Structure 1
């Protein structure tokens, strides 16, 4: 069952080139669904009416004989969609389907009595097929043209039935009854307006979903860009801090040696000052002590400048 579902899903995507579907792509998907579904319906119909198909071909009515042809046309539409010729497949189907199943049988079979229902229902269904297979937004010419022809067919269906009824097997009292015509128009309007509104709602919701998806993708790209920039900034900052740390360590080692000389001299001079009592010696020690203090102060200022310079670089 899962494999069948996947297979049908792949078939429904024939002719769809992008994952982000637009109106046209969705109509192609809908047409594929129609090309898959209608043969199933017609095959079931042939099985139900099997006795009618077990007679010689020469005795088949045209509307019976044409059913397998329509099935082949559906498969042809699938093939054209698979090849990417999606507009041609949909146009051919919308034109050929009513011709084979409704208009030609009426002429050849002289308006069979069952077509009193089959013909107006077929026109209503044909209008639904047009709305499913063509986009009002992006295929306005084809959509409007086919819907106009469909509407003309609906308005003129009683006259067509009477015109081709050469054997007079359709009750005129029913065909000429105005509510027979009004009921056909009512159901045509009802189904087509409902499906048009439903399709509009579906398209609007899908558009909002696509817009939200696009917004999320754009925000994701922005976040990825920000994260990438942050990673680069952190990496650069970390590298800079490591370099500054290495410099500070070197400066600390260097500064320790700079301070050690004056400090040791000051300490030695202080010790000498305590041991000496001669005035000349004390004066000399005092001079040397002032020189060492001045040197120490100079080294401290030099260290301070280097620290401030390194701090401004961080």
Structure 2
């Protein structure tokens, strides 16, 4: 049962709505269901206590209409549901008794207070920026009820003389419901104004926060791009260094073998020259040093050329 009530009090509320719209739909559903329960209780009183079956029919009509309102909200007919809630209970409960002549003294009291209470309800259910026409119509409707319902009842009914005297006393009879109507309306107008100012500030703050968030996201993406570029650059330089080191090691291994032959011959000839004092023999030794020296020079030039070519390729 509780889940069923919660479902119908939230009928018509969807994610695209803002909080104020959700609140108004929830209030429309809740007040209509509450009024439906009240009509059931009063219906029992009309049938089993006062035996006023005409009044019981009116309560039943309002009960059915109130159950229709959450269904209309579920179909997203929001303005229609609010209009039914505000117009038909007043017409059925206040207007129909006058039309059919079902008038009794208690109506002189509660009719005008019902009108006074309903004066403020349009400000609760409708959006004061978008639905001004609806608010003005229903406020005027119930204000007229509050002001003139007693005069209409006097005209069409036959109240006791004491009731006639009371009705003509403005300060005792008419002023209290008018005070209720204007006080409740003024309170809700103040609430709507305060709530609107708060919502504007909240939207402004949210906009600033969103802009700040977007700016931070953009900065973060920029920093991430810089970091990625730095990482790529570091990786590239590391690869160059690794390639260079590997190249040097490979060249060292290869060239050590190439250099070893002519260098060994040169060292051998130099060692032989240490044991000879004959100029002709030394001259012959020095002549023999020419070829391994030139061979060693060619090898060294080739090594330098290869290293220079490797540097140019790495730079590219």
**Shorter-chain-normalised TM-score: which range?**
0.7 to 0.9
Instruction: Give the distance between the partners of 2:226 and 2:6, measured in 1 at CA.
Output: 47
**Structure 2 match to 1:15:** 12
How far residue 134 of structure 1 moved from its aligned partner, in angstroms, is 1.9
Per the alignment, in what secondary structure is the counterpart of residue 130 of structure 2?
Answer: coil
How far residue 54 of structure 1 moved from its aligned partner, in angstroms, is 2.3
Structure 2 counterparts to residues 203-242 of structure 1, below 5 A = 205=198
**Structure 2 match to 1:308:** 315
Instruction: Give the distance between the partners of 1:170 and 1:15, measured in 2 at CA.
Output: 49
What is the aligned counterpart of 1:272 among 241, 261, 265? Answer: 265
What per-residue deviation string (whole Å, max 9, x for no partner) do you get for residues 252-282 of structure 1? 5555444544443334333222210411122
Q: Do the aligned partners of 2:33 and 2:66 also contact (CA within 8 Å) in 1? A: yes
State whether structure 2 residue 289 is matched by structure 1 residue 282. yes
Instruction: Give the distance between the partners of 1:99 and 1:294, measured in 2 at CA.
Output: 113
Instruction: Give the distance between the partners of 1:211 and 1:63, measured in 2 at CA.
Output: 52
Q: TM-score, normalised by structure 2?
A: 0.75
Q: Do the aligned partners of 1:66 and 1:100 also contact (CA within 8 Å) in 2? A: yes
Q: Which has the larger radius of gyration?
A: 2
Instruction: Give the distance between the partners of 2:292 and 2:152, measured in 1 at CA.
Output: 135
How far residue 13 of structure 1 moved from its aligned partner, in angstroms, is 2.4
Higher relative contact order (CA 8 A, sep 6+): 1
Specify whether residues 261 and 76 from structure 1 end up closer, same or farther in structure 2 by C-alpha distance, changes over 3 A only.
Answer: closer
Specify whether residues 222 and 16 from structure 1 end up closer, same or farther in structure 2 by C-alpha distance, changes over 3 A only.
Answer: farther
Specify whether residues 12 and 210 from structure 1 end up closer, same or farther in structure 2 by C-alpha distance, changes over 3 A only.
Answer: farther
Per the alignment, in what secondary structure is the counterpart of residue 156 of structure 1?
Answer: helix
Q: Which runs of 5+ in 2 are unaligned?
A: 274-284
Per the alignment, in what secondary structure is the counterpart of residue 13 of structure 2?
Answer: coil
Instruction: Give the distance between the partners of 2:5 and 2:119, measured in 1 at CA.
Output: 25
Q: Do the aligned partners of 2:39 and 2:59 also contact (CA within 8 Å) in 1? A: yes
**Structure 2 match to 1:312:** none
Instruction: Give the distance between the partners of 2:62 and 2:162, measured in 1 at CA.
Output: 26
Per the alignment, in what secondary structure is the counterpart of residue 128 of structure 2?
Answer: coil
State whether structure 2 residue 283 is matched by structure 1 residue 291. no
Q: TM-score, normalised by structure 1?
A: 0.75
Specify whether residues 92 and 232 from structure 1 end up closer, same or farther in structure 2 by C-alpha distance, changes over 3 A only.
Answer: same
What per-residue deviation string (whole Å, max 9, x for no partner) do you get for residues 85-130 of structure 1? 3322222232211111123324544753212320121112222332
Q: Do the aligned partners of 1:124 and 1:188 also contact (CA within 8 Å) in 2? A: yes
Q: How many equivalent residue pairs?
A: 301
How far residue 32 of structure 1 moved from its aligned partner, in angstroms, is 0.9
State whether structure 2 residue 146 is matched by structure 1 residue 154. yes
Per the alignment, in what secondary structure is the counterpart of residue 282 of structure 1?
Answer: helix
Q: Do the aligned partners of 1:262 and 1:295 also contact (CA within 8 Å) in 2? A: no
Q: Which runs of 5+ in 1 are unaligned?
A: 310-314
Instruction: Give the distance between the partners of 1:67 and 1:161, measured in 2 at CA.
Output: 20
Specify whether residues 119 and 7 from structure 1 end up closer, same or farther in structure 2 by C-alpha distance, changes over 3 A only.
Answer: same
